Amino acid sequence: MRFDVFWRVAVVQLVAVALLSVILAAVFSHGLFEDWGWLAGPAAWLLCAWLTARIVGVAVRPALLGAVLAGLLSAVAVLVDLHWLGAAVAVGLFALWCARLPSREAAWT
């Protein structure tokens, strides 16, 4: 496991999710998230994961697979009304996943 990648992924994903959450909350009403959160949340999570993979330099497709798996575990927290705890756990799991991936350049060789 590459600890430098773990920390870079964790920080970039956390910042990306937080910034996107603030922007979406400023632009849209709370009702939108109550009605469409099941779609907006996963889409935002995957967008942030894609951006994180590109910035950190890990292979994008495997990183997105890790984001989906971490997101599924996070969904359990949402179901028991612990949304932000689930997001924090998902960031950690996603970072662990990415820390085991080859770099983007190595993935193509």
89-109: per-residue pLDDT in tens? 999 999 999 999 877 665 544
Above 50 in pLDDT, residue 51? yes
* Segment 51-57 long-range contacts (CB within 8 Å, at least 24 positions apart): 51/12, 51/16, 52/9, 52/12, 52/13, 52/16, 52/94, 52/98, 53/98, 53/104, 55/12, 56/5, 56/8, 56/9, 56/12, 56/98, 57/103, 57/104, 57/105
The reply to whether 96 falls in a domain is: yes
- Digit-coded pLDDT (tens) for 54-71: 999 999 999 999 999 999
The reply to whether 99 falls in a domain is: yes
Domain span at residue 73 reads 3-104
The reply to whether 70 falls in a domain is: yes
The Cα–Cα gap between 88 and 17 comes to 10
Above 60 in pLDDT, residue 27? yes
The reply to whether 37 falls in a domain is: yes
The reply to whether 109 falls in a domain is: no
What is the residue-averaged pLDDT of the chain? 89
The reply to whether 51 falls in a domain is: yes
Q: What is the pTM of this model?
A: 0.86
Domain count within the chain: 1
pLDDT of residue 90: 95
